[in-house]
Amino acid sequence: MPSGLNIFLGWTAGTAGWLAVLSGASLAALAAVPPVLDSPPVPAEVAVTAPAPVSRERALALRHFLTQDCGSCHGLTLGGGLGPPLQREQVANKPVPYLAYTILNGRPGTAMPPWSRFLTEAEGEWLARELRGENP
Ligand code: HEC
Protein backbone atom coordinates (compact mmCIF):
# COMPACT_ATOMS: atom_id res chain seq x y z
CA MET A 1 0.00 0.00 0.00
CA PRO A 2 1.44 3.40 -0.88
CA SER A 3 2.14 5.39 2.19
CA GLY A 4 0.06 8.27 0.87
CA LEU A 5 -3.08 6.17 1.06
CA ASN A 6 -2.17 5.04 4.55
CA ILE A 7 -1.91 8.59 5.68
CA PHE A 8 -5.20 9.40 4.02
CA LEU A 9 -6.99 6.49 5.66
CA GLY A 10 -5.47 7.33 8.98
CA TRP A 11 -6.56 10.92 8.59
CA THR A 12 -10.10 9.87 7.69
CA ALA A 13 -10.38 7.56 10.68
CA GLY A 14 -8.92 10.18 12.96
CA THR A 15 -11.24 12.87 11.66
CA ALA A 16 -14.29 10.66 12.02
CA GLY A 17 -13.35 9.91 15.60
CA TRP A 18 -12.71 13.55 16.31
CA LEU A 19 -16.07 14.51 14.74
CA ALA A 20 -17.81 11.87 16.84
CA VAL A 21 -16.25 13.35 19.97
CA LEU A 22 -17.25 16.84 18.84
CA SER A 23 -20.85 15.98 18.12
CA GLY A 24 -21.06 14.08 21.39
CA ALA A 25 -19.82 17.18 23.17
CA SER A 26 -22.19 19.53 21.38
CA LEU A 27 -25.12 17.21 22.04
CA ALA A 28 -24.22 17.27 25.71
CA ALA A 29 -23.97 21.04 25.56
CA LEU A 30 -27.37 21.25 23.89
CA ALA A 31 -28.91 19.04 26.53
CA ALA A 32 -27.40 21.25 29.22
CA VAL A 33 -29.20 24.37 27.92
CA PRO A 34 -32.22 24.87 30.18
CA PRO A 35 -35.60 25.20 28.51
CA VAL A 36 -36.76 28.82 28.15
CA LEU A 37 -39.80 28.43 30.34
CA ASP A 38 -39.38 30.97 33.06
CA SER A 39 -38.68 34.08 30.94
CA PRO A 40 -40.05 37.22 32.63
CA PRO A 41 -43.35 38.70 31.33
CA VAL A 42 -42.94 41.19 28.49
CA PRO A 43 -43.73 44.69 29.82
CA ALA A 44 -45.48 45.61 26.55
CA GLU A 45 -48.25 43.16 27.33
CA VAL A 46 -48.78 44.76 30.70
CA ALA A 47 -48.93 48.28 29.24
CA VAL A 48 -51.75 47.44 26.85
CA THR A 49 -54.28 46.95 29.64
CA ALA A 50 -57.20 48.82 28.18
CA PRO A 51 -59.39 51.47 29.24
CA ALA A 52 -59.36 52.00 25.44
CA PRO A 53 -58.21 49.81 22.58
CA VAL A 54 -55.18 51.87 21.62
CA SER A 55 -52.13 49.73 20.90
CA ARG A 56 -48.73 50.56 22.30
CA GLU A 57 -47.45 51.48 18.82
CA ARG A 58 -50.45 53.71 18.23
CA ALA A 59 -49.95 55.35 21.62
CA LEU A 60 -46.40 56.29 20.62
CA ALA A 61 -47.69 57.76 17.36
CA LEU A 62 -50.42 59.67 19.18
CA ARG A 63 -47.93 61.17 21.63
CA HIS A 64 -45.86 62.36 18.69
CA PHE A 65 -49.01 63.71 17.04
CA LEU A 66 -49.96 65.61 20.18
CA THR A 67 -46.64 67.42 20.31
CA GLN A 68 -46.25 68.03 16.60
CA ASP A 69 -49.77 68.63 15.31
CA CYS A 70 -51.72 69.80 18.32
CA GLY A 71 -48.55 71.53 19.48
CA SER A 72 -48.46 73.67 16.35
CA CYS A 73 -51.41 75.61 17.78
CA HIS A 74 -51.37 74.76 21.47
CA GLY A 75 -47.59 75.10 21.81
CA LEU A 76 -44.92 72.39 21.66
CA THR A 77 -45.20 71.95 25.41
CA LEU A 78 -48.97 72.55 25.17
CA GLY A 79 -48.39 75.77 27.07
CA GLY A 80 -50.64 77.71 24.73
CA GLY A 81 -50.31 79.57 21.45
CA LEU A 82 -53.04 80.16 18.95
CA GLY A 83 -55.02 77.64 20.99
CA PRO A 84 -55.37 77.74 24.79
CA PRO A 85 -52.87 75.91 27.01
CA LEU A 86 -53.69 72.24 27.49
CA GLN A 87 -51.32 71.33 30.26
CA ARG A 88 -52.42 69.11 33.11
CA GLU A 89 -53.43 71.95 35.44
CA GLN A 90 -55.54 73.54 32.71
CA VAL A 91 -57.50 70.41 31.89
CA ALA A 92 -57.66 68.96 35.40
CA ASN A 93 -61.23 70.21 35.85
CA LYS A 94 -62.34 69.31 32.32
CA PRO A 95 -63.91 65.88 31.99
CA VAL A 96 -62.54 63.38 29.48
CA PRO A 97 -65.78 63.23 27.41
CA TYR A 98 -65.76 67.01 27.09
CA LEU A 99 -62.14 67.07 25.97
CA ALA A 100 -62.61 64.10 23.65
CA TYR A 101 -65.67 65.69 22.11
CA THR A 102 -63.74 68.91 21.44
CA ILE A 103 -60.83 66.98 19.96
CA LEU A 104 -63.00 64.89 17.66
CA ASN A 105 -65.46 67.60 16.59
CA GLY A 106 -63.40 70.76 16.91
CA ARG A 107 -64.96 74.12 17.74
CA PRO A 108 -66.85 75.43 14.75
CA GLY A 109 -66.15 79.09 14.16
CA THR A 110 -62.71 78.86 15.78
CA ALA A 111 -59.33 77.62 14.60
CA MET A 112 -59.81 74.33 16.48
CA PRO A 113 -60.35 71.76 13.71
CA PRO A 114 -62.27 68.48 14.03
CA TRP A 115 -59.96 65.46 14.15
CA SER A 116 -62.52 62.70 13.72
CA ARG A 117 -61.33 62.05 10.17
CA PHE A 118 -57.94 61.01 11.51
CA LEU A 119 -58.78 59.61 14.93
CA THR A 120 -61.16 56.97 16.20
CA GLU A 121 -63.38 57.75 19.17
CA ALA A 122 -61.13 55.62 21.36
CA GLU A 123 -58.12 57.60 20.19
CA GLY A 124 -59.89 60.89 20.91
CA GLU A 125 -60.54 59.67 24.44
CA TRP A 126 -56.99 58.41 24.72
CA LEU A 127 -55.71 61.91 23.83
CA ALA A 128 -58.09 63.47 26.35
CA ARG A 129 -56.75 61.15 29.06
CA GLU A 130 -53.20 61.84 27.89
CA LEU A 131 -53.76 65.55 28.44
CA ARG A 132 -54.96 64.78 31.96
CA GLY A 133 -51.98 62.50 32.58
CA GLU A 134 -54.19 59.46 33.07
CA ASN A 135 -52.61 57.09 30.54
CA PRO A 136 -50.26 54.34 31.69
C1 HEC B 1 -55.11 75.09 13.91
C2 HEC B 1 -54.93 75.28 15.33
C3 HEC B 1 -55.25 74.15 16.27
C4 HEC B 1 -54.84 72.84 16.19
C5 HEC B 1 -53.91 72.21 15.16
C6 HEC B 1 -55.39 72.18 17.35
N7 HEC B 1 -56.14 73.05 18.08
FE8 HEC B 1 -57.14 72.60 19.77
N9 HEC B 1 -57.86 74.50 19.86
C10 HEC B 1 -57.51 75.52 19.00
C11 HEC B 1 -58.20 76.73 19.40
C12 HEC B 1 -58.09 78.09 18.73
C13 HEC B 1 -58.98 76.38 20.52
C14 HEC B 1 -59.92 77.30 21.31
C15 HEC B 1 -61.28 77.20 20.67
C16 HEC B 1 -62.26 78.12 21.36
O17 HEC B 1 -62.07 79.33 21.29
O18 HEC B 1 -63.19 77.58 21.99
C19 HEC B 1 -58.74 74.97 20.78
C20 HEC B 1 -59.33 74.27 21.80
C21 HEC B 1 -58.99 72.98 22.15
C22 HEC B 1 -59.51 72.27 23.30
C23 HEC B 1 -60.52 72.80 24.30
C24 HEC B 1 -59.78 73.40 25.45
C25 HEC B 1 -60.72 73.93 26.50
O26 HEC B 1 -60.18 74.34 27.51
O27 HEC B 1 -61.92 73.92 26.31
C28 HEC B 1 -58.91 71.06 23.32
C29 HEC B 1 -59.10 69.96 24.36
C30 HEC B 1 -58.04 71.00 22.20
N31 HEC B 1 -58.11 72.17 21.50
C32 HEC B 1 -57.26 69.91 21.89
C33 HEC B 1 -56.53 69.80 20.73
C34 HEC B 1 -55.85 68.61 20.35
C35 HEC B 1 -55.76 67.33 21.18
C36 HEC B 1 -55.30 68.86 19.13
C37 HEC B 1 -54.54 67.89 18.27
C38 HEC B 1 -55.23 66.67 17.91
C39 HEC B 1 -55.62 70.22 18.78
N40 HEC B 1 -56.37 70.76 19.78
C41 HEC B 1 -55.18 70.85 17.62
C42 HEC B 1 -56.66 75.42 17.93
C43 HEC B 1 -56.07 74.26 17.47
Range of the structural domain that residue 108 is part of:
43-131
Within-domain flag for 136: no
Residues 15 and 82 in one domain: no
- What three-state secondary structure class fits 97? helix
pLDDT in tens, 69-112: 999 999 999 999 999 999 999 999 999 999 999 999 999 999 99
Q: 115: domain CATH number?
A: 1.10.760.10
For residues 86 and 96, the answer to whether their CB atoms sit within 8 Å is no
Residues 22 and 64 in one domain: no
Give me the number of domains the chain comprises: 2
Q: Does any ligand 1 atom lie closer than 6 A to the CB of residue 68?
A: no
Residue nearest to atom 5 of ligand 1 (CA): 70
- Does the predicted TM-score (pTM) go above 0.85? no
Q: How much distance in Å is there from the Cα of 98 to the middle of ligand 1?
A: 12
Does residue 100 sit within a domain? yes
CB 104 within 8 A of CB 124: yes
Q: Based on the fold, state whether residues 57 and 33 are members of the same structural domain.
A: no
- Same domain for 28 and 71, yes or no, is no
Question: What are the helix (H) ranges across 33-95?
Answer: 43-47, 56-65, 71-74, 88-91
